[in-house]
Each structure stands twice: as C-alpha cells, then as structure tokens.
C-alpha cells in the first residue's frame, strides 16, 4: 500500500534543504521498492523543526524534525514510513506543547494540507465562508466582520469592517480589493507562511471582500523577495479559477471576481498603502497625501480596500464560524487571535497564533525557549523596524494593541525579534536611521533628510568627548526625532524615532 508522507514546499524548509530531501527520499524509496506519495504541504510554522517530515499513522501525524539528506538512509532503516522510532522522532505533532498551546483560527489549516489543492482545502472548511457570503447581503457580510472586531493585521490596527463599509458606500462603476503582501518588516513572515501554506484562504478572503464592497477585481502586491510564494500563490489562484471560485461567475452567484498578482521591486516603502497603490499603477512608490482616503480614491482613483494578507486570510474563518466566535478570543478592543512570529536570536522560532493578551515572556520563554545562543535576553524589538526596543524588564507586557502602546511600543505585524546580551543598542538605533535613509521615498524632508542627520547625530553621541557634549547631542537627537514624528507624511519617517528613542531611553549606557 502507498504511504503518504509530508515534506513542506515552503521557503524555510527549502532554505534548509527540503528540495534535495524530497529527491533523496523518493530515490531511496524507489531503491527499496517502497511505494510512497510525497505530499507537499505548507509549513506548520514551527520553523525550528524544518525540514519537518511527517507520516500518517492511526493516531495522527508523526513527525521527524530537522531532517537532512544524511538522515534518509537511517530513517528508512528505522521504518519511519510506518512510524518507526528514530533519534529525530518528535512523536505526534499535534500533541507537541508548542502546537497544543496555540489557538489557531487563521492558520488552522496551514501545514496540514497540500497547499494549493482546492479539494483538500474544502475538506477542512474551506469555501464555507464564501458560500455563506454569497447568500448574504453586502451589509450583512460587513456586519459580521464588524462583529468579529477584526482590526488590520498589517500594523495600523484599523477596524477592517469600517474600511469595508466606507468602500461599500462609495458610488463607482469600478472598485478594487488590494492585498498588501509587501511584508518587508524584519522579523515578520506570517504573510509568507499563509500564502505558501494555505493560499486559498487569501483567495477566499479577497473574494468575500469583493462581494461585500462590490469590487470585481483584486490585486495582490507581493514583494519580490518571495519568489517561491509567487509560484505557490499563482497555482492556488489558477486552481480556484478552474474550480469556479474565481472568474465571471463566482460559485454560480452571477457575480464576478478575479485576482492578479503584481510583484514589487524591493522597495520597503511600498508596504505603506498609498505607496503601494502608486507602485501598482506602475509609478515610483512615493506616498500620497491623505485625504482622499484610498477607500474613496485608491487604485486608479477608484474606491479601494487595501488590507493586509492576514486580515484578508482571516475573513474565511470569521464567515464560517461567525463574527461572535472570532470575537470570543482576545480581550478589550484587541479581539481575536494574532499570529505572532518569533525570530532573531531564538531557540524555537516560528509562528505562534494566540488570542491577544499573552505576555512577551510567554511568547519568548514558553514557546521560544529563550535565545539560540543560550545567553540572556537583553532586548526585544516588536513590530518590525519601526517598533520599539524593549529591555528584558518589560517582558511581562501583555501583547494587545492598547497595553503594548501604553508601554511605548506597537504590535505592528506581530514580529518579535530577540537579541541576546551581545547587542549594542546605539548601533541598532543608528541602523534604524540608516534603514530609513535607504528606504525613504524622498517625498517629505523630515524623513529624507532627518534620517541622514539622525545617523550623524548618533555617531556624534557615541564619539562625544565628555558627558556634557553627549547630553547636548542627545537633546539634538530628541529634537530631531520630535520633528520627524510630527512632520513626516507617513509612518516611515514618523515612526523611525520609536526604535531610536526607545534605545536611548532603555539602553542609555550603550551610547558611549
């Protein structure tokens, strides 16, 4: 009988040798005359386990973690196809505490199915939400999203339902759904994981958004650093089209919705929604003044929903299980779950989807197992390159939008980058300014010039000849940061002061 085994087709697994592994396992099976079927699933998000090879058993899927081609012969010797014990066995994958302690809604299917298969997607609840939405009025779909409390997962945290309401209410012959898949923040990779592991959830989410606001065309603006993602996503779109979930007559509803992937070209600023729209129009990715809001005048001047990948990929489960169910997770005004991503100097890095409210410590110590180097945690940057640096004393801060903001940080896209005691925060602060200088779109002066002056000032602080001189330069930096914060046109210049000033505040000793 043919045995099924699972090896992810996904960037992390691939970066650690999964493609060579697939070839080696297939060859070894052929030599030993064992019939196997290799399913190319997405990653389950436990990046530290990749490549994670799984086999079916009566009790569930058994895992073998961090497998390389050197392990192939011994795996077959151990009869891993039938669940045989091997030094790299991790047992039943679903039973591992790393997975068991998560609350997966958006990522419920990710890693379980062959990523682009419509039938496997349907078997695990896929397209139930879309079918429900087709039978509903536009206003009722939007109400469901409002009830869920879903806020934009890209970083700004704006209520998704309100954005949709604005677009739905705008009169126009053409409207657009734009998915922001320009995941440029360091430490974030949840967009990539879902697009590689469960891309049909994004396709379904965008289609529902189209039905809700009356848009017939959707664009996914994907960063060019994700070439494998593009291939997988395109396959998923093609399969959805063939199955009748996209096209002129979505599921026999008589309504049209189509999708196209557009590639970015290595500009971080294009993750800002108005830059992204400029870039989609084939222009320099310079930001636009707001108002008008993209919801009223967006792509090609038409009303446009611009949502992040995770926001859109969460819509199917909200429609399937109801907004109330989703809002049952989380707390306060941070409802539902957040896919946090732990990276940097971390032992067990990967994607942890949990209801809002767990603490940084739980994430880094309980899930992440502390640093990769084994040295103490010294600093944590949450929310990408524009997020604050926290010292270890703030590890007990709860992860929700409001509490995190109170502590001087922002959740952003949920990326958590851990540094051990070897980090120098003056260097990191300088890097924040340097990054802003490299990636600034150049439209406004505080960002374009301020970032360069910021670098110079940090150099002066570090080189100061005495404490008085240092204090004087720090007050220049503080002034400069205030100007950038209040006078920049968008978050790039406006938030670069956040990591810089948090480094000054919490790690003053590094600036000498």
Contact residues: other proteins, CB under 8 A: 11-12, 14-17, 19-20, 47-48, 50, 183-189, 191-192, 224-228, 262-268, 279-286, 300, 341-346, 349-350, 372, 381, 385, 415, 417-420, 423, 428, 431, 435, 438-439, 441
Given the complex with other proteins, which of 230 and 470 has the nearer CB atom? 230
Residue 47 CB, shortest distance to other proteins, in Å, is: 4
Given the complex with other proteins, which of 1 and 265 has the nearer CB atom? 265
Residue 123 CB, shortest distance to other proteins, in Å, is: 28
Residue 125 CB, shortest distance to other proteins, in Å, is: 27
Residue 395 CB, shortest distance to other proteins, in Å, is: 16
Give strand ranges (E) for 175-329: 176-181, 217-222, 258-263, 304-308
Given the complex with other proteins, which of 333 and 375 has the nearer CB atom? 375
Structural contact between residues 481 and 429, judged by C-beta atoms closer than 8 angstroms: no
Structural contact between residues 304 and 277, judged by C-beta atoms closer than 8 angstroms: yes
Residue 69 CB, shortest distance to other proteins, in Å, is: 9
Structure tokens belonging to residue 331: 């707390």
Buried b (16+ CB within 10 A) or exposed e, 326-362: bbebbeeebbbbbbbbbbbbbbbbbbbbbbbbbbbbb
226/263 Cα distance (integer angstroms) = 9
Given the complex with other proteins, which of 280 and 484 has the nearer CB atom? 280
Given the complex with other proteins, which of 221 and 257 has the nearer CB atom? 221
Residue 49 CB, shortest distance to other proteins, in Å, is: 10
Residue 446 CB, shortest distance to other proteins, in Å, is: 20
Task: Give whole-number Cα distances, 136 to 188, 201, 212, 315, in Å.
Answer: 35, 19, 9, 15
236/248 Cα distance (integer angstroms) = 17
Burial label for 282, CB within 10 Å (0-12, 13-18, 19+), is exposed
Classify residue 363 by its DSSP letter. Answer: I
Residue 79 CB, shortest distance to other proteins, in Å, is: 27
Given the complex with other proteins, which of 150 and 179 has the nearer CB atom? 179
Given the complex with other proteins, which of 251 and 346 has the nearer CB atom? 346
Q: Give the CA count within 13 Å in the CB-facing half-sphere of 251.
A: 14
Given the complex with other proteins, which of 224 and 248 has the nearer CB atom? 224
């Amino acid at each position: 009988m043919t045995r099924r085994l699972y090896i992810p087709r996904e960037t992390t697994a691939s970066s650690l040798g999964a493609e060579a592994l697939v070839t080696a396992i297939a060859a070894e099976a052929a030599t030993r005359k064992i019939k196997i079927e290799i399913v190319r699933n997405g990653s389950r998000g436990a990046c530290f386990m990749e490549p994670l090879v799984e086999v079916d058993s009566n009790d569930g899927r058994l895992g073998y973690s961090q497998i390389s081609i050197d392990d192939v012969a011994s795996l077959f010797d151990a009869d891993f196809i039938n669940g045989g014990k091997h030094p790299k066995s991790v047992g039943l994958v679903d039973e591992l505490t790393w997975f068991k302690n998560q609350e997966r809604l958006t990522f419920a299917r990710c890693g379980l199915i062959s990523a682009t298969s419509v039938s496997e997607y349907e078997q695990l609840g896929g397209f139930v939400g879309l079918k429900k939405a087709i039978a509903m009025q536009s206003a009722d779909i939007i109400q469901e999203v409002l009830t869920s409390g879903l806020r934009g997962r890209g970083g700004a945290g704006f209520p998704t339902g309100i954005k949709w309401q604005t677009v739905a209410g705008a009169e126009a012959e053409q409207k657009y759904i734009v998915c922001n898949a320009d995941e440029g923040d360091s430490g974030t990779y949840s967009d990539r994981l879902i697009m590689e592991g469960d891309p049909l959830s994004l396709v379904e989410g965008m289609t529902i958004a189209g039905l809700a606001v009356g848009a017939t065309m959707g664009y996914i603006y994907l960063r060019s650093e994700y070439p494998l993602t593009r291939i997988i996503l395109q396959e998923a779109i093609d399969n959805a089209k063939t199955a009748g979930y996209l096209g002129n007559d979505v599921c026999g509803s008589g309504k049209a919705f189509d999708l196209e992937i557009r590639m970015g070209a290595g500009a971080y600023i294009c993750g800002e929604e108005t830059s992204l729209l400029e870039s989609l129009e084939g222009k320099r990715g310079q930001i636009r003044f707001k108002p008008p809001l993209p919801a009223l005048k967006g792509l090609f001047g038409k009303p446009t929903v611009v949502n992040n990948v995770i926001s859109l990929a969460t819509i199917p489960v909200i429609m399937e299980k109801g907004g109330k169910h989703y809002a049952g997770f989380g707390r306060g005004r941070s409802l539902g779950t957040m896919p946090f991503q732990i990276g940097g100097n971390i032992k067990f890095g990967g994607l942890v989807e949990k209801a809002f409210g767990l603490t940084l410590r739980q994430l880094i110590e309980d899930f992440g197992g502390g640093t990769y180097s084994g040295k103490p945690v010294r600093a944590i940057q949450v929310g990408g390159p524009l997020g604050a640096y926290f010292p270890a004393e703030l590890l007990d801060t709860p992860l929700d939008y409001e509490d995190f903001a109170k502590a001087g940080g922002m959740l952003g896209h949920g990326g958590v980058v851990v540094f051990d005691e070897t980090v120098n925060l003056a260097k990191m602060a300088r890097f924040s300014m340097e990054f802003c200088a490299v990636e600034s779109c150049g439209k406004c002066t505080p960002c374009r010039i301020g970032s360069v002056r910021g670098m110079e000032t940090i150099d002066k602080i570090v080189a100061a000849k005495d404490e008085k001189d240092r204090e004087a330069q720090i007050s220049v930096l503080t002034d400069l940061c205030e100007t950038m914060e209040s006078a920049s046109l968008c978050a790039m210049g406006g938030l670069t002061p956040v990591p810089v000033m948090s480094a000054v505040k919490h790690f003053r000793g590094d600036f000498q």
